[in-house]
Structure 1
């Protein structure tokens, strides 16, 4: 059997892939050109180019892949590369809608003209503020007003003279009575050269101081003239209104001439149709509110003589004519690329702000409309982390709606909108934005399954891989990537030995010898940490020893739990034997993961068999500590036993299998072969070697299947053996397909080189049981399994259990009958 066991040993050259520094065509990365292209993501890059190039509706990009693979950096680089020659999108402005102030108007202007338009409109209002007071104090204005006033006065005097002619020599006289701002003519009696009101004259009649006949005559005469005088008074009123309108017309005419003169350069500069209509509405609105415009710069009289009030603020009067520059693309050289790191509703879709006025009420207007990243990216690209965005209230539904309709209406998202509604409904913005969202495969699958809109708006999936093929071209690119990071992070150059150490670590991270990890952020961290080690060593160049020291230090910072578990094994608190042989007992290997650190540790697995019909009892399952995949592995064991030993007899046994001293949940099937070895050992009553730890899953045909974490598992058992003393017979048995995944630490490889430790690779249960027991597994013949083989002993035991159970049943029936 010794010869057979040696054939199963993994050779030294298979334990670890090594990169010879001599194979690298440089001595230091200082000799290399920095990397500009993307490494090893041909599938993802091609899908990204496709999504960006498709200008049809719905081809937004959903980027999947594991975090830590540098997806964001790759997206930045690709967008910078693909976005060089695109057109700069328009500026967006909101202006007042004077007919419906709750519906502000949207203006689209060429890039750079939005800011200019805002500046020109400000200059226009400033011109109005400066010129209007001078206009209404000018000699021309005063002369025209005086001319109207004189003409009006002449007409009024003509009316008064007509009245005076009517009452001449009648004993009556015309008087002017002040009624508010107007003077109203009236007819009263003239007594002793003085005008008297009828009521006064009536009192004089009562007192005998004036003849009644004369009083009656005067009253009748006044009554005769009253209707004609009222008609004249009405004409005076109409004349006053007409003059007032002429005054207003003069004000409007002179203001319009002034405003048009100030506005003329702006009209020439901005000839867009919608802008022209807006400028017309500005002048119309100013004329309608000319009284307020005329107060610009004019102090208001206070309630007391000599008191002066400040008047209405010019900013308040002129605010309706301002321009809200929503998006300014004046500094853009191509389509905007916005990466929103905080994708809240407000940051993405903007808001309508409110301010509290002096009375304590909330107020808002079109100048309070603010754009979010989604609108600022219009005509370009918006990049967000979808998991962050989807957790924010209202974001996902608004994003979907905007991408489907290709429009957005800016509003303030507020669950208490019925209390804090703004009352504004801005004109919708037509959207032409390519959205790139980052998520993992699980989020992609969930949304595709539960959200029917997903396939309509994210038709381009970009899947970045976690690893890349290891070939000469990728190796050369990675070396240049190191050169780029050296320049970017201002660290020391890396020697060829250091780059070789980095490449070996990337192979280990990938989990496969033919691959290199694409975890570029972790690689960048390793480069910085290696530079730190070189700094502590006062070295001018980072060498391989600095890289290895950085890796060791990173492990030391993270392996506190691993050390505590090892201490418990060393002091005997956790039972793990690394020597001797025991029936029904074996060392399994488990992997523990703590975020950025993963390690392996052995765990004792035991099996106990007896007569019964319960079959294989999974103690972890009975105690609700077993996961579904582990339960499946246990069912496979039953299938294997039926296939191998129940073809000529019923499978009747009771067997319990347990992970000893396991107090947490257990899942996965990587220990299913280990459990089967323990079960076969218990049935055959053949001891298993305790200096061998086992990992590997098994199928119903007894084939050993590959598992994950093989390096960590080997290193975990090696550490246990090292603590108790390496004997040279100890080792780990792994599935043969996992040989291609081996990337063991230098310490383990060196121990194997010196014959202190071993790694065996098996492809079947037959090979594994022979290594663990030192006996032949056995082959099935017409007469049964090979004599004195493990399988023959198992078959004999199962037959004895079945016959014993049958005899026990007969005797039990006889005792009942008796």
Structure 2
């Protein structure tokens, strides 16, 4: 069969990558690289966002999954972070003045863990030293001297009291309830009952002298109490003096090591003062026991001197780069843990746990947007942390206002990290339009493209990507032919002969699978056949639905003709998407025309199975008919269009040209070749416009034709603007080379109708008519006849 003038040469239906374009015989020869491939715009935006230190210049990395956003950012930041200063360590310690507000201590990187261990060693050494000095003979001697001096004073005071009482005829008796004064009568103390039997004058005299004596006794008791207080003060002073003597060398060591940090210096002074204030429990002199003691319930009096190291950068070189894949409130901003004791919840500063934001302080925090937004508390707290430049660890129950209880409020930590969000362009648009704070806090957008230009430089970069992946994952290296096959697959993913896909995750999966087949064969390198097998197997695992549709067409359940001619009937093409797999299938489109005034009726719309874009495409057909054929007489027809055997929603305008061809065939009476399928949208001027999924549509119709029998007259009409999008399989190209299958790129409806009917479309003549015998002439004549006949049936 002679090729038609509009037929596409097979070599234009796919770009072939010459193996020599790779530049290496094998990826093993390619040196490692950290370059981010094909994302110059995004890299430039990242460099700008990371250099700017002003508040609000955080970064939103927009792009589709699989474009290497996460890998590229981590690789980019890894190199950048190495040259940045290592941020400080952070500890929480007890606030002795207000335990509900633990203090945050900043220490130089690596000093935090050392300080924690030093404090643990200090506590142990303090216990030993205090025990030693308080059990020493010197301490016992000095304590005895204090007690002896006080006891001598008490003895003198007792003698004074006894002498005074004796002079007045009384005796001071010491009882379990205190001191009492008893009168002496006839040389012996008498009781109150005996006193009551004495004469009234004697009783009054005894009462007078007793009252005067009790006044002196009260003064003596006050002096006794003052002696007790004095003894206690002297003992406390002694204990503090002895304890300070023991603590001074221990604290001096700590101050010598960490005293250059003012906060630590102040904290150690408070530790010393608190130990001196709490010597009795530390020494075990005061011990409160629960009424029903349980194992583990005993409180360690030295627990309050522990250091809670929440951020440890001792093993970090440079700035931290933290990727938090599950950015919940708790994982981002930490938590104050609690333990249950006898039905009650207990917590203290040692149970404070830091979050990813704390660990990223001084560096970079990378967060996926979608899971972040699913936790509104995490999102609002992140914005507050960026705006206030502080990190607060709050109890989530208290934050939500669900329970009003006294809990810890740790001192906030300054927040200085560059936050990088990773998400889709759609989420960026939503946040930008609906969240004003987002605009103020994330002023830099780094957008990752899904494609890059196909040029020799980028082909070599593809080879570098393959080499890096093989080294990183221990895969077999690819020879030049295999890399060429991967590059061609990159064109296929991009859907453009002039572009290469940057969906490196999909490319990596194919490379891994090809390496697996090479390992099975025991070859040294992965070759082109291994890549092609990986692609074939990938399709085979996912195309069950496509085979079922093809089988239904073969068995006649779905009516599709691929030979012969029919009036008002054409094969349109649609794409079915099944997640990871897409395939094209033909749909019979039919049109009927009758006399009437209804115009073009879209049956899909009437049945509510047509989407708005499809409805728009059908309405455009009315505009085309009116502009071309209704300049002299009005359109007087009722036409109906439908996708036959379509039981789901019909959406999109890529079949609008097919619907128009069916309508033109029905109006002209000229049959359409059923072996030629059609795709492409049309505008009111009759121009054919580009559509998506061109490869799947062409290959889908080819598969049906192959199943029903190739006869050399079958093919597909596509928009000429889609030619560069063709990256067809080898099997389709071979059929084209043998003349068994054809592709016809067209610019206008006239070109397409000529291919489908074999009849000339016809040019418009000066008088507004068309060439005799042409399609346009036949349609115009039919419409004029219908307009005349409609006059016979007035409204």
Shared fold (TM-score greater than 0.5)? yes
- Deviation (angstroms), 1:258: 2.3
What secondary structure does 1:453 align onto? helix
**Are the counterparts in 1 of residues 723 and 745 from structure 2 also a CA contact under 8 Å?**
yes
- What pairs up with 1:164-563 in 2 under 5 angstroms? 164-168=162-166, 172-179=170-177, 184=179, 186=181, 188-189=183-184, 196-199=189-192, 201-202=194-195, 221-271=209-259, 272-295=261-284, 316-358=300-342, 360-414=343-397, 417-419=401-403, 421=405, 423-563=407-547
Q: Report the CA distance shift for 1:311/1:163 in structure 2 as closer, same or farther (over 3 A).
A: farther
1:597 is matched with 581
Q: Secondary structure at the match of 2:84?
A: coil
Q: Deviations over 1:651-700 (max 9, x none)?
A: 22111110100111111111111111001000111111101001111111
Taking the aligned partners of 2:674 and 2:715, their CA distance within structure 1 comes to 10
* Distance in structure 2 (CA, Å) of the matches to 1:178 and 1:259: 42
Q: Please name the residue that 2:651 is paired with.
A: 667
Could you tell me whether the CA contact under 8 Å between 1:94 and 1:323 is conserved in 2? yes
Question: Which residue number in structure 1 is paired with residue 770 of structure 2?
Answer: 785
User: What's the CA shift for 1:26?
Assistant: 3.0
Which of 15, 18, 32 in structure 1 is aligned with 2:16?
A: 18
Q: Is the 8 A contact 1:189 1:218 kept in 2?
A: no
Gaps of 5+ in 2: none
Q: Is the 8 A contact 2:170 2:189 kept in 1?
A: no
Calculate the aligned-residue CA RMSD, in Å: 2.4
302 and 386 in structure 1: CA distance in 2 versus 1, 3 angstrom threshold: closer
How big is the shift at 1:222? 4.3
Q: CA deviation at 1:416?
A: 6.4
Residues 709/299 of structure 1: CA separation in 2 closer, same or farther (3 Å cut):
closer
* Correspondence for 2:786 among 801, 804, 818: 801
How many Å separate the matches in 1 of 2:14 and 2:551? 28
> In structure 1, what is the equivalent of residue 113 of structure 2?
115
Please say if 1:766 is aligned against 2:750: yes
Question: Out of 593, 596, 603, which is 1:619 matched to?
Answer: 603
Task: State the Cα distance separating 1:721 from its structure 2 match.
Answer: 0.8
User: What residue number does 1:159 align with?
Assistant: 157
Partner of 1:816: none
The residue number in structure 2 matching 1:147 is 145
Tell me the distance in 1 between the aligned counterparts of 2:352 and 2:514.
50
TM alignment of 1:30-109, pairs within 5 A = 30-109=28-107
Q: Distance in 2 between matches of 1:285 and 1:441?
A: 57
- In structure 2, do the counterparts of structure 1 residues 302 and 276 end up closer, same or farther at CA, with 3 Å as the change threshold? closer
Task: Answer yes or no: is the 8 Å Cα contact 1:591–1:601 preserved in 2.
Answer: yes
Displacement of 1:413: 2.0
Q: Is 1:711–1:742's contact at 8 Å kept on the other side of the alignment?
A: yes
TM-score (norm 1): 0.92
CA distance in 2: counterparts of 1:594 and 1:634, whole angstroms: 27
Q: Offset of 1:630 from its aligned partner?
A: 1.0
Whole-angstrom CA distance in 2 between matches of 1:309 and 1:13: 89
1:532/1:312 Cα in 2 relative to 1: closer, same or farther (>3 Å)? closer
Distance across 1 between alignment mates of 2:625 and 2:212: 135
**Bigger CA drift: 656-665 or 11-20?**
11-20
Report the Cα distance in structure 1 between the residues aligned to 2:299 and 2:254, rounded to whole angstroms: 21
CA contact 1:349–1:374 (8 Å) conserved in 2: yes
3-state DSSP class of the match of 1:572?
Answer: coil
SS of the equivalent of 1:589 reads strand
The answer (yes or no) to whether the contact 1:35–1:483 under 8 Å persists in 2 is: no
- The TM-score with structure 2 as length reference comes to 0.95
Instruction: Report deviation, 1:521.
Output: 1.0
Structure 1 residue runs without a partner (length 5+): 813-818
Q: Distance in 1 between matches of 2:18 and 2:295?
A: 85
